Amino acid sequence: MNKNDITVIIPISVIPSHPDTRIIDETINSIRHHLPDSEIILQIDGLRAERKERKKDYDEFKNRLLWKCLHEWNSVLPIIFDVHSHQTTMMKNTINEIKTSLMLYVESDTPLVIDEKIAWEECLDMIEYDKAKTIRFHFESFIPESHEYLMFEKEGNFLKTIQWSQRPHLSLVSYYKDIVLPYSEEKTFIEDRFHGKVQDDGWNLHKLWIYHPEGNIKRSYHLDGREGTRKFTDDDLVWGYKE
């Protein structure tokens, strides 16, 4: 395996800063820093009924995005959904467009860091030799104490975990097809159900790791595209999201 065996998946939905493209620009630039030649697939979601007042801004954002795909970026494929489909349904409907064995899933406001190295060959070897199905790139410089019960032993630059997150992760396409998507409900966030499945099943089925080199382990970050506004899930009130 090599880095050309990776296709990057970026789900996109309307956010307060649209039609401005600065967030997706930063995310794609960070990916190109690490993976200059990989194909990127943009999953561009339709509007929810609750967001119809954003149609003009979102349409203009999509126009700018398509211009960049044609004139500015290389190997970026936009797939536009006319109706709201969310992460799970977009992934189910586009996974067969992935022609590589691996995918790097990057939400549109979660770039990879560019000031730290990622040992991609080590990551690829972990997957090729069946030690890992998924490797996540952490968004903090250390493991918070409250998450330590979800962590297990460390092996080299990798930490075993049963903590699933949709933050940037490298995964086998076959694993998504066979395990992740069949368990996912339509029109939801992938992690909303799947995080519980990983914890219930245990580590051996999912072979999930966090990239964990010595020192600072932060390899991604969050631009907070929603700016604290609603996720539009059943737990919005729990998290304190506002309209």
Tokens 């080199």 sit at which residue? 213
Report whether 8 contacts 104 (CB < 8 A). yes
Per-residue pLDDT tens digits for 76-87: 999 999 999 999
> Is-above-0.85 flag for pTM?
yes
> Taking 90 as the threshold, does the pLDDT of residue 73 lie above it?
yes
3-state secondary structure of 134: strand
**pLDDT (tens digit per residue) in 109-141:** 999 999 999 999 999 999 999 999 999 999 999
Q: For 180-229, what is each residue's pLDDT tens digit?
A: 999 999 999 999 999 999 999 999 999 999 999 999 999 999 998 877 77
Whether residue 78 has a cis bond before it, omega within 30° of 0: no
- 3-state SS, 169-191, equals EEEEHHHHHHHHHHHCCCCCCHH
pLDDT for res 236: 45
Q: How confident is the model at residue 50 (pLDDT cuts 50, 70, 90)?
A: confident
The answer to whether 123 touches 34, Cβ cutoff 8 Å, is: no
Q: Is 160 left (phi over 0), alpha (psi -120 to 50) or beta?
A: beta
